[in-house]
Chains A and B, each alone.
Chain A
Amino acid sequence: MNCGVIVFPGSNCDLDAYHLVRDVLKEEVTYIDYEERSLQGFDVIILPGGFTYGDYLRSGAIAARTPVMEAVNRFACSGGLVLGICNGFQVLTEAGLLPGALCRNDSLQFRCRQVYVRIENNSLPFTNKASTDQVLMMPVAHGDGSYYAPPEVLQDLEANGQVIFRYVDQRGEAVKAANPNGSCENIAGVSNRAGNVVGLMPHPERAGEAVLGSTDGLVIFESLRGYCKGREVLKSG
């Protein structure tokens, strides 16, 4: 699996994604500059967390208009796998690659804590190693994580299986208390219609080592690895 981690001005979880892929998964990984115009040769593109351009206009809005995003758009349109984490998720919604928007947390405060999310669709390249309704413990750390989409869009998302992660309690129930930011329908992460672009607010890259408190995030990267390997076999076969 050959991963690219995009570094926008103000990205700050680029190191964490890079470290996880290189040191934990032992896979190939490269930083990609925000001015880069080609993403040839990559299997997976990760848009990491952070505060691109300070999130001064709207979270992710300015980063969504950098040169590299044209390349990400082309990459996604040709079926490439794109994972947006936290600010990366915000960038993908701002770029129109994912539906909906991420608004201010309902607490109006930044929140850093462990949450539980349930995998709602385990048929994607991002989730196919997870079991149905598997519950993962991962941290969130954001101020603008409240997922919003108009009712008709939400309906579509649910119907198409595009809601990929939902905030739940430890037992897997999508209760209000488990929702750290006021997201519609406890939505923590969604995909595009084709299922090759996924964004989520929680940080799976921070849940990849036992010493950090959880290894639950690994299932996402393991799924991606398995999918990429399978694709290689198909190609060479």
Chain B
Amino acid sequence: MADVDNLRPEKAPKIWRKLGLKDFEYEMIVEQLGREPNPVELNMYSVMWSEHCSYKHSRSSLKLFPTGGPRVVQGPGENAGVVDIGDGYGAVFKIESHNHPSAIEPYQGAATGVGGILRDIYTMGAQPIAFLNSLRFGPPNNARSRYLIEGVVAGIGGYGNCVGIPTVGGEVYFEPCYRGNPLVNAMCVGVMPLKRLVLGQACGEGNLVVLAGARTGRDGIHGVTFASEELSDQSEEDRPAVQVGDPFLGKILIDATLEAVEKQLVVGVQDLGGAGLTCALTETASRAGTGLEIDLKMVPLREEGLEPFEILTSESQERMLFIVEPEKLEDLEKIFQHWQLPLSVLGQVSAGKMVTVRHHGEVVAEVPAESVAGGAPAYEPESREPEYIGKLSAFDLSALKPAGDPGQYLLSLLSSPDIASKEWAWQQYDYMVRTSTLEGPGGDAAVLRLRETGKALAVTVDGNSRYTYLDPYLGGMLAVAEATRNLSCCGAEPVGITDCLNFGNPEKPEMFWQFRQAVEGMAEACRVLEAPVVGGNVSFYNEVEDEAIYPTPVVGAVGLLENAKNYCKTGFVRNGDLIYLLGPCEVSFGGSQFLKELYGKVAGRPASIDLEMEKAVQALLRRLIADGLIVSAHDLAEGGLAVALAESCLAGGRGAAVTLASGLDSVLELFGEGPTRVLISLPPEASDRVLDLARKKRVRMSELGRVDGGDSLTVKCGNALAFKLGLDELKKAYEEVFSWIRT
């Protein structure tokens, strides 16, 4: 990390390089500032112009996302997106990565990831109601991976449980490419009366700039710079760049902040996350088009002797910035005193557009807010299709001819870490606190009731990086389609999505190509499925020693259920119900779990998607659920039809008997993967009506069999028995693989 005393350009030539800036970027700073920056200013610029804060390699691509729509109240650019969910209420949500910190210090990395995304939600004035997370690790067959897995899961629980917001869903996948660079993406969802919405803007000349919450220390200095580089052997030395969370302080800071918002004591709120005070000051001023006069002496410090640049770039957690009208300060102070939280006036909003920072009477920085917060260049990086794409997609899937016992195939898929029950993780999360969780972890989406309106929200996170690796454009479409489909499987109408885009080094043309393709695919799916992107996060440089992760876009989606009583679960419900497959029959082994588990390969072409059909299937599903015609619905994902059947049997504790049409390739039929396919069950008397509605929507429905109430899953192909497996065998395979983690 930079040595402050020698930061002056004339003393240490090209010091900006050490701070992660390019020569060209330094020249831009000099031009925008009209002079050479002093060391403090250079530090401010370098954190704000880091990839993490400035999105300089992604900004132009992110413009492809549809961000508007009739429900969108606040799109990207604020702390979180806001979507109108009726009755004067809004849903507020965002997903964010904490990959690099978690690779170095899994517990604190994950915990502060949760704390950070939480602040983004209540900063808007919303009551947080749920967490979700998306995790990727190396295979859990070695001590290092297990250390990361256990640390990350404990960290997520440690923070979420303590603040009292339920962690209701998520996903965990394992691939060798994540061994050195795990992914930890955390999502938070909140709800608020829309009239209470408060933005991160420093409005009103003369208003006070108030810092509240934790004292500022030396943790997390230049955390964003660290997050904008590839990981290496030396990354362990960056441990001080990882922040330490204090969930108790986080909890009372929520209570105090929401009380202040409810009592209308603040005109602007901004949390302090990446790039700390620098980010909060310059972003709030730049959004409002104002300036700020700040005195660093007023910042409550954890220890003596912090340099101005340290105070300005520290990422100490659990801090909030408020913009307050002077006459309301006293009331605000009362709230924070009650919670025994420090609160300090740093300065005020000024005319002009400069952020002026003083320390012991001396001006230590004077920078244009807009230039620091938004002046970074937007790159159009070079893009080139990687060679592996052609090679892997040419893999001849038809040569596989699997001839083994389909029952054994199913058991090995169910016991693969990717598919196996994730109860080992979510039993460490309090998923019920706030007593609104109607459907917790383990289903297609979680469902939370809204006491205020009688409605409910469905929430999910999804992403299959094998598909995106093999075909980033298609993979991007599939991620959006799967996330929205999971909502529709509960009966919820998708109202918006947030995305976390985890990729390698964008300065490498192959990596950027993956990114661009994936974004284009996602954008196309969002357009057709009418799911606006209201916020998100990009995480580049997920590479260790030149080995990049699979391109991993993760989609967090939020859906609205008009009636909290009317939602569908994944498990079979009643003996005698009919089982159907809704949607097309095209499947592929390309990128499938089957190919990975049984052949050790990630190759081939995943089945393509017809987005119009996807839209029709999802609309049909929602209609069938709203009308009470079907009683269970489960999205077909990894492992295809056979795994979905097993999961619906296990979730409902009921056996089923299924017959596939003869003449088909039964192994492909059972284990091939394809989008837009949903397993449903319904009472026999509803079948005519359901078939009729499907026909009208031109959605294919194939009858498979019946929930027979036995204790096994029987699958026939024509007259031949493919397999018959007891529920206990299925359950054992589904649950035992993670027994090492249950001490």
Contact = CB atoms under 8 A, between A and B. Distances in A.
A49 B166 CA distance: 13
A48 to B, nearest CB: 10
Interface string A58-78: 000000000000000000000
Interface in B426-461: 426-435, 437-438, 449, 451
Interface stretch (A109-117, A190-198, A219-227): A109-117
A19 B451 contact: yes
A201 B340 CA distance: 28
Contact of B251 (A51, A112, A203, A212): A51
A139 B432 contact: yes
B252 interface: yes
B626 interface: no
A212 B248 contact: no
A206 B248 contact: no
Given A111-B428, A112-B427, A211-B449, A141 B161 contact: yes
A145 interface: no
Contacts of A53: 248
B673 interface: no
Contact of A109 (B154, B162, B246, B430): B154
A55 B564 CA distance: 35
A206 B433 CA distance: 8
A55 B426 CA distance: 21
A56 B248 CA distance: 9
Nearest to A108: B743
Contacts of A211: 438, 449, 564-565
B164 A13 contact: yes
Contacts of B246: 54
A89 B514 CA distance: 53
Nearest to B254: A12
Given A19-B435, A107-B742, A107-B743, A112 B252 contact: no
B251 A10 contact: yes
Contacts of B430: 110, 112, 141
Interface size class of B (residues with CB under 8 A): 20 to 34
Nearest to A13: B433
A212 B743 contact: no
Contacts of B451: 19, 23
A98 B252 CA distance: 27
Interface string B732-743: 000000000011
Contact of B339 (A9, A13, A55): A9
Interface string A8-20: 0110110110011
Contact of B248 (A20, A51, A108, A109): A51
Contacts of A35: 338
B433 A113 contact: no
B437 A212 contact: yes
Contacts of B158: 110
A125 interface: no
Interface in B214-261: 246-249, 251-252
Contacts of A23: 451
B432 A51 contact: no
Nearest to B247: A54
A50 interface: yes
Contacts of A9: 248, 251-252, 339-340
B438 A110 contact: no
B650 interface: no
B81 interface: no
A206 B247 contact: no
Contact of B427 (A51, A111, A208): A111
Given A111-B427, A212-B437, 16 more contacts: A9-B340, A10-B248, A10-B252, A12-B164, A15-B435, A16-B435, A20-B435, A54-B247, A54-B248, A55-B248, A107-B742, A108-B743, A109-B427, A109-B743, A112-B430, A113-B427
Which 7 residue pairs of A and B lie closest in terms of their CB atoms, listed nearest first?
A12-B164, A54-B248, A51-B162, A141-B430, A16-B435, A110-B428, A112-B430
Interface of B: 154, 157-158, 161-164, 246-249, 251-252, 338-340, 426-435, 437-438, 449, 451, 564-565, 742-743
21 contacts: A12-B164, A16-B434, A16-B435, A19-B435, A20-B435, A23-B451, A35-B338, A51-B161, A51-B247, A54-B162, A54-B251, A111-B427, A111-B428, A112-B161, A112-B427, A112-B431, A141-B161, A143-B161, A208-B435, A211-B449, A211-B564
